Amino acid sequence: MGRTENTELTVLCLVEDGHKVLLQNRIKDSWRCFTFPGGHVEPGESAAHAVIREMKEETGLNIKQPRLAGIKSFPIDNGKDEGRYIVLLYKTDKFEGEITSSSEGEISWIDRDDLANLDVVEDFFETLKVLDDPGISELDYLKSSDHSTYRYM
């Protein structure tokens, strides 16, 4: 076994406005429901530039001072041992502009008190825990044939 693996590098961002968070109701079949907006880091692009670009493309907002808050990793789920996704988790409360939805899904400001009532992606609350708790830096997603396990670091 080699010392390298296939890796897809992506970013997500928690954009906050007071007690509200910006979420995307994704329409993609493989990742449908409410989640944080984000996307892939392009070849040669820094992660910070990727999160700024992705937020503009998917939300219409020009975010400022995104802060790396943690990492999430999970296996590429294609039936083979093909590597993993690395998701860099950012957060900010500094932005300009008005929200606009994209072809990825509808963008909405959601009050934190209403999050439990939403249809969210599988690991939404585990990811939010990493974003909210400065004592946690990583969420490792381990998948076996009969269940999923999350490990915090």
Q: What is the CATH number of the domain that holds 93?
A: 3.90.79.10
The answer to whether residue 136 is domain-embedded is yes
Question: Tens digit of pLDDT for each residue in 25-63?
Answer: 988 766 679 999 999 999 999 999 999 999 999 999 999
Question: What pLDDT was estimated at residue 78?
Answer: 65
| Under 8 Å between Cβ of 93 and 17 | yes
Q: How far, in Å, CA of 141 to CA of 149, rounded?
A: 6
pLDDT bin (cut points 50, 70, 90) of residue 16 is very high
Domain that holds residue 24: 7-152
The answer to whether residue 2 is domain-embedded is no
Average pLDDT over residues 7-26: 96
The answer to whether residue 1 is domain-embedded is no
Look up the pTM and report it: 0.90
The answer to whether residue 32 is domain-embedded is yes
Looking at the predicted structure, is the pLDDT value of residue 145 above 80? no
Domain count within the chain = 1
The answer to whether residue 134 is domain-embedded is yes
Question: What pLDDT was estimated at residue 84?
Answer: 87
The answer to whether residue 52 is domain-embedded is yes
The answer to whether residue 126 is domain-embedded is yes
The answer to whether residue 37 is domain-embedded is yes
